[in-house]
């Protein structure tokens, strides 16, 4: 049995893909009424047109869902710690695979560290890369990175979680995978703001490129391998998220660029991550100008015109 904690679009899509490939899956969500409706209708508003296979058991019982040997943690990054804290079982020896992307705003840490603090006896791993929930649920071909410091456990997870259409590449560079997945959301906000403000595709390409340099710079500073950022968890996810309106972070950036409001019920991981990255960069003296500007934009400290001026007025330098 595979447990999926989080019945949002991505968690549900993973549950659908795994169940369609013959796995037994238990999908947990915190709202009992919503989960009862999903169980009866086998539908969810999060994934219109997708039928939930009978192989998915739907529950609002967190303790029961947490008994699965492998748990996919598909909850928002900023709630990961509280969800794990709500599980009284120490989850000793269980494989906890974080499917959320970002840095914890309170600690500046990625999901693997949050797991290690909350459940020190569990085995943490990361599932990340270029993917939209609707594509996964519809069975469209998707490739992701599965990062786990324990190489043997990573190999087991790779086979447990791969399907005919969901191809997983394994890595032991958990930090690199985390940073790639976290910062691509920050850059997606920047690129969305760029397009929303009418600055054009050339400016977006520049932001993506300089943003990729920041992703690599921070990852290496934190002990990751630079080549991890050139893979699915970094460059791959960056390319997808910075160019598609299916990305919530990109759409949020567009709204910032147009000086429009944005639905507060929509999770935008990149906003909190930008602030966490800006604090980390200031603490460690790491140049992260794009991330810093995004943090300031999301907090309303600068306008889009001021953000552009801040980036363009930086001293000229060698690439």
State residue 280 phi and psi, 5-degree precision.
-65, -45
Confirm or deny that 6 is annotated as ligand binding: yes
In a 10 Å sphere around its CB, with 0-12 CB exposed, 13-18 middle and 19+ buried, how is residue 130 labelled?
A: buried
- Residues 6+ positions from 308 with CB-CB distance below 8 Å: 197, 199
Confirm or deny that 247 is annotated as ligand binding: yes
Strands laid side by side in the 123-128 sheet: 56-59, 25-28, 2-5, 70-73, 95-98, 123-128, 142-147, 166-171
Active site residue 119: no
Q: How far apart are CA 138 and CA 13, in angstroms?
A: 8
Confirm or deny that 46 is annotated as ligand binding: no
Confirm or deny that 30 is annotated as ligand binding: yes
Confirm or deny that 248 is annotated as ligand binding: yes
3-state secondary structure of 75: coil
Confirm or deny that 133 is annotated as ligand binding: yes
Confirm or deny that 9 is annotated as ligand binding: yes
Q: What are 96's strand-pairing partners?
A: 71, 124
Confirm or deny that 249 is annotated as ligand binding: yes
Q: How far is CA 265 from CA 68, 116, 128, 252, in A?
A: 30, 29, 23, 12
Number of Cβ within 10 Å of residue 244's Cβ equals 14
Query: For the chain, how far is it from start to end, CA to CA, in angstroms?
Result: 50
Which listed residue (184, 225, 301, 317) is catalytic? 184
- Strands 142-147 and 2-5, by their bridges, are unpaired
Active site members = 184
Residue set of the binding site: 6-11, 30, 101, 129, 131, 133, 184, 237, 247-249, 269
Binding site listing for sn-glycerol 3-phosphate: 101, 129, 131, 184, 237, 247-249
């Amino acid at each position: 049995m595979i447990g999926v904690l989080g019945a949002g679009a991505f968690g549900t899509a993973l549950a659908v893909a795994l169940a369609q490939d013959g796995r037994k899956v238990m999908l947990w969500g915190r709202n009992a009424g919503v989960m009862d409706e999903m169980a009866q209708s086998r539908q969810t508003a999060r994934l219109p047109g997708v039928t939930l296979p009978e192989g998915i058991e739907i529950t609002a019982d967190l303790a029961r869902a947490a008994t699965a040997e492998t748990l996919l943690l598909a909850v928002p990054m900023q709630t990961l710690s509280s969800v794990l804290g709500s599980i009284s079982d120490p989850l000793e020896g269980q494989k906890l695979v974080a499917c959320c992307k970002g840095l914890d705003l309170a600690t500046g840490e990625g999901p693997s560290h949050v797991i290690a603090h909350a459940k020190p006896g569990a085995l943490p791993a990361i599932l990340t890369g270029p993917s939209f929930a609707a594509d996964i649920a519809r069975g469209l071909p998707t490739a992701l990175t599965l990062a786990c410091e324990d190489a043997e456990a990573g190999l087991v997870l790779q086979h447990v979680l791969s399907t005919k259409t969901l191809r997983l590449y394994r890595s032991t560079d958990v930090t690199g995978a985390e940073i790639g997945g976290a910062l691509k959301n920050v850059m997606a906000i920047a690129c969305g703001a760029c397009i929303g403000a009418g600055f054009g595709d050339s400016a977006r390409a520049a932001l993506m490129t300089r943003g990729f340099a920041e992703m690599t710079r921070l990852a290496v500073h934190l002990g990751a391998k630079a080549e991890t950022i050139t893979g699915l968890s970094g460059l791959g996810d960056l390319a997808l998220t910075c160019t598609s309106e299916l990305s919530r972070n990109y759409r949020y950036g567009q709204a910032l660029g147009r000086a429009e409001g944005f639905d507060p019920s929509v999770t935008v991981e990149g906003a909190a991550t930008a602030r966490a990255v800006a604090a980390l960069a200031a603490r460690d003296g790491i140049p992260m100008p794009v991330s810093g500007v995004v943090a300031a934009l999301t907090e309303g400290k600068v306008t889009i015109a001021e953000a552009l001026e801040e980036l363009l007025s930086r001293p000229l330098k060698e690439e």
